[in-house]
Chains A and B, each alone.
Chain A
């Protein structure tokens, strides 16, 4: 393009467009946002795919994530090392999965991962409790939390193993009216 310094080659941009739901402009914007987070760390020139990771603590300061009670989980889910350090690829990946055009199936998969706090591929009671505590800022009493978790399990758990497997989760989410409108972040 007309810029003095190219951030990406055309090939890279094409590849990113193939792999995400973003347009060229949005990818460039994502890069600038990414760079804003850690200007000293992230180079402007990304043509040679530098292996740079921005730590979780910096990522969650983004206004898009700042207020989200699940911000840490989101970032951890999308980071390749599971610790919350995001490379630019992960960063793009995250917003691509959360953007408006990504399909319900993909979102469901990532939502399941996000809510699966202990990463055992099941949403168990602990996960539910943690979710609830984050959602209500711990304003429910112990009994109430337990009741809600039991109820939620009772509703969604089809196979009766008192934890939610992915298929349980998918079944439940696929009928939810607000999931798609709420589970998205505009960049």
Chain B
């Protein structure tokens, strides 16, 4: 490189130049540093640390690091050349010169500001950001400490490696004018050891992080190779004496572990299904539609695990080891139902044989252990029921945390309207010409809109009318929400009346499900129409729309639940009566039996299980309600796709040849994929699964099937019948929006289930908890019977209110504490941000004087 370039470079490439300039005294400083570190073993920590920043500056570049043990001087000489070679090759010299010249012209005052601000990108480009460097510094500090400590331990005995090192050191130090005594050399090698350790650690870090460096692949590969070679070479030298074997072992295990992790990762990604399918959708419709499918896939994964738990721990053990069908009353269809038990219509209502199968709660027996394995089915049932929630909660929260980590996007709306539009609006996933055209058009319109907004920001014509319309719209929507809630309540009430009758038509039997599905189908478009009145910005409008649909679904679900609870309560009363009656009958029977036979050993009455009088078993009834609801939901959503999208597309496509207006461009046209509606549907479906799974273990299986088929069906439908969105407004800034909804629904569906588990008495003659006064008694029973006695007392202490209340208090306090800590962090974060902007600010102060346009930007900073 020509020398004359250096001046220009000086201006532009702040940090790197700094490095080069300090090269001249680099070696000396380095050696001094070394010596110091080595000399005062005790004080080395403090002084070494103090010295670190200096040494950091010299060796910020990794290749220098590499050269370090092989003689500093050579490295230093080599460095400038190398650096230039490594510098971004596309930054051609002339440009640099130009930039430099321009900077110079601005004169002294401007120059240093320019320098400051130009070294930022350079620095970033050079080596993965300042943050990374800072991290490295810290790392080194800690490493240094560690190294020192280790050196102290192991430095005493000499080794071949050490000698080698010393020789190298000697080369280094011989060039230095200062004389080194033997003793000094000894300690120096210890310091050297620490240094080596540091370097090895640093190399390891480099290997781990190399993928984050904005380097050319070639450079990355060579660096990787060098670093690996270095680590291989010197790692073995680090352990001494006793520790050596252990160290080598540790190193080996780490390597193996990394390898295993990678293989596992490879395996895991190979297992992720539908990668191609989603990619196809993505390239056709952009990332927003694809996000639905990714969400669907995630749901499928979660449900698969739930399915595994439920079937592996509850259903299959019961099928394999439990009593077979027909052995006891709860596993038999009652006599009066037997005639119709196999009818298609009955089975479709999940009555008859379906009702008395493993799919529902009532089928399970309350035997404490089943089969040869002494499998504790009731306990397992309860645990799986609770574990379902635990696992879902954990998974959702973990995913949210992960997303929040990646996310960002905490800027206020309107801060960077145009800049964001310019740099982040193109969806790089788009690979389809039509979508791309739409995207171009939508970007253009959004720019035009923003321009118009910008030009006439304060045009508020007739604000009163608009306010009135908005209030009206909200009133209408509240009315329809209330109406839908009442309708559902009414229908559930009526269905209880119907339940006592036999002559029901198909509609009357399925009224509830039909009404709920219809409401879900009709209300959202209705809301959308009403929302037209409000005349909001589409993004805000979409948020309102989502909130309203959410309220609708939630309201419907909860009305349904309350009505169901009413039903359960009546059933409970009924059951009590039956229970009393049957107990009375039993007593009578036994009394008669013992009187007649005069035998104290009573045998149970010889009755066919089908004839036994039994209670209504409210758990199964609830389970059936949920299964029916889910199934009808599946049917409705599939039919909607078939009619609303497919039939429409067919009609538009083929009738277009013989129609008076252009169907494709005109009125019906093709459907667009309704992202928000689909996501909400999915979320609420999952809520129903969570609620119903406890009473109908088979529901999880149904849901897995649904999601699986949904994936293929909707993928096909979206590719075949839908057109890309003309304008997409994402409701959420981050991808945690869906997850937040899911979490909310999870909590809401957790409540009723936990309530029933904790308070309602289980049916006396069906289900795994029959005969107990509360469902969770099964846990107590296990503690009492299976665990050693002291555990029982331990638990009874733990369950003592005197202990629980302080524990709760403690948790509340902990939450409060953590909350305030995070608040403090946030504050200090803000402060730091402000300070960072203040660094840039001074230049602004200068510029503002000349340029009044910058006033706004200045305001932003203050």
What is the interface of chain A, defined by CB distance below 8 A to chain B?
14-15, 17-21, 23-26, 63-64, 66-70, 77, 80-82, 87, 89-90, 92-93, 96-98, 102-106, 109-112, 115, 119-121, 128, 131-132, 135-137, 139-140, 144, 147-148, 151-152, 154-161, 165-167, 169-170, 172-186
Q: Is B216 in contact with A90, judged by CB distance below 8 angstroms?
A: yes
Q: Is B451 in contact with A148, judged by CB distance below 8 angstroms?
A: yes
Q: Is A80 in contact with B216, judged by CB distance below 8 angstroms?
A: yes
Say if the beta carbon of B828 comes within 8 Å of chain A. Answer: no
Most buried by B among A104, A110, A119, A178: A178
Within the assembled complex, what's the spacing in Å between the Cα atoms of A148 and B423? 12
Q: Is B216 in contact with A120, judged by CB distance below 8 angstroms?
A: no
Can you name 29 A-B residue pairings with CB atoms under 8 Å?
A17-B262, A23-B270, A24-B266, A25-B266, A26-B269, A67-B433, A68-B430, A80-B216, A80-B218, A82-B90, A89-B221, A106-B128, A119-B90, A139-B440, A155-B415, A158-B861, A159-B117, A161-B847, A165-B121, A175-B410, A176-B416, A176-B424, A177-B424, A178-B409, A180-B408, A180-B409, A181-B291, A182-B287, A183-B424
Residues on A with beta carbons closer than 8 Å to the beta carbon of B278 = 186
Separation in Å of the B187 CB from the closest CB of chain A? Answer: 37
Considering the complex, give the chain A residue whose CB is closest to the CB of B275: A186
Within the assembled complex, what's the spacing in Å between the Cα atoms of A62 and B218? 23
Within the assembled complex, what's the spacing in Å between the Cα atoms of A183 and B429? 8
Considering the complex, give the chain A residue whose CB is closest to the CB of B266: A23
Say if the beta carbon of B837 comes within 8 Å of chain A. Answer: yes
Within the assembled complex, what's the spacing in Å between the Cα atoms of A96 and B207? 16
Q: Is A177 in contact with B121, judged by CB distance below 8 angstroms?
A: no
Stretch at the interface among B18-26, B91-99, B755-763: B91-99
Q: Is A177 in contact with B91, judged by CB distance below 8 angstroms?
A: no
Q: Is A154 in contact with B269, judged by CB distance below 8 angstroms?
A: no
Within the assembled complex, what's the spacing in Å between the Cα atoms of A68 and B844? 36
Residues on B with beta carbons closer than 8 Å to the beta carbon of A139 = 440, 444
Separation in Å of the A62 CB from the closest CB of chain B? Answer: 9
What total count of A-B pairs have CB within 8 Å? 246
Q: Is B734 in contact with A177, judged by CB distance below 8 angstroms?
A: yes
Residues on B with beta carbons closer than 8 Å to the beta carbon of A131 = 422-423
Residues on A with beta carbons closer than 8 Å to the beta carbon of B637 = none
Q: Is B423 in contact with A159, judged by CB distance below 8 angstroms?
A: no
Q: Which 5 A-B residue pairings sit nearest by Cβ, starting from the closest?
A: A175-B411, A166-B121, A177-B409, A89-B217, A177-B733
Residues on A with beta carbons closer than 8 Å to the beta carbon of B128 = 105-106
Q: Is A179 in contact with B423, judged by CB distance below 8 angstroms?
A: yes
Q: Give residues of chain B (392-427) contacting chain A, Cβ–Cβ below 8 Å.
A: 406-411, 415-427
Considering the complex, give the chain B residue whose CB is closest to the CB of A112: B121
Separation in Å of the A117 CB from the closest CB of chain B? Answer: 12
Partner of A158, one of B279, B420, B433, B844: B844
Q: Is B409 in contact with A128, judged by CB distance below 8 angstroms?
A: no
Residues on A with beta carbons closer than 8 Å to the beta carbon of B428 = 68, 98, 182-185
Within the assembled complex, what's the spacing in Å between the Cα atoms of A157 and B410? 19
Q: Give residues of chain B (565-598) contacting chain A, Cβ–Cβ below 8 Å.
A: none
Q: Is B117 in contact with A165, judged by CB distance below 8 angstroms?
A: yes
Q: Is A67 in contact with B856, judged by CB distance below 8 angstroms?
A: no
Say if the beta carbon of B313 comes within 8 Å of chain A. Answer: no
Within the assembled complex, what's the spacing in Å between the Cα atoms of A100 and B121? 23
Say if the beta carbon of B730 comes within 8 Å of chain A. Answer: yes
Q: Give residues of chain B (29-82) contacting chain A, Cβ–Cβ below 8 Å.
A: none
Residues on A with beta carbons closer than 8 Å to the beta carbon of B857 = 154, 157-158, 160
Q: Is A186 in contact with B279, judged by CB distance below 8 angstroms?
A: yes
Separation in Å of the B246 CB from the closest CB of chain A? Answer: 26
Residues on B with beta carbons closer than 8 Å to the beta carbon of A112 = 121
Considering the complex, give the chain A residue whose CB is closest to the CB of B110: A161
Q: Is A121 in contact with B99, judged by CB distance below 8 angstroms?
A: yes
Residues on A with beta carbons closer than 8 Å to the beta carbon of B291 = 181
Say if the beta carbon of B487 comes within 8 Å of chain A. Answer: no
Partner of A136, one of B122, B224, B429, B447: B447
Considering the complex, give the chain A residue whose CB is closest to the CB of B287: A181
Within the assembled complex, what's the spacing in Å between the Cα atoms of A82 and B287? 30
Say if the beta carbon of B435 comes within 8 Å of chain A. Answer: yes
Say if the beta carbon of B113 comes within 8 Å of chain A. Answer: yes
Separation in Å of the B596 CB from the closest CB of chain A? Answer: 78
Q: Is B416 in contact with A172, judged by CB distance below 8 angstroms?
A: yes
Partner of A105, one of B129, B279, B283, B848: B129
Partner of B95, one of A119, A154, A182, A186: A119
Within the assembled complex, what's the spacing in Å between the Cα atoms of A156 and B431? 30
Within the assembled complex, what's the spacing in Å between the Cα atoms of A155 and B422? 12
Residues on B with beta carbons closer than 8 Å to the beta carbon of A174 = 408, 411
Within the assembled complex, what's the spacing in Å between the Cα atoms of A184 and B406? 13
Say if the beta carbon of B436 comes within 8 Å of chain A. Answer: yes
Residues on A with beta carbons closer than 8 Å to the beta carbon of B279 = 186
Partner of A154, one of B440, B734, B856: B856
With A19-B221, A135-B443 known as contacts, the answer to whether A178 contacts B214 (CB < 8 A) is no
Q: Is A160 in contact with B851, judged by CB distance below 8 angstroms?
A: yes
Identify 15 new A-B residue pairs, CB closer than 8 A, beyond the known A104-B408, A140-B444, A181-B287.
A17-B262, A18-B210, A19-B210, A19-B220, A19-B224, A20-B217, A66-B431, A80-B89, A93-B220, A135-B426, A136-B443, A158-B861, A166-B121, A178-B425, A185-B428
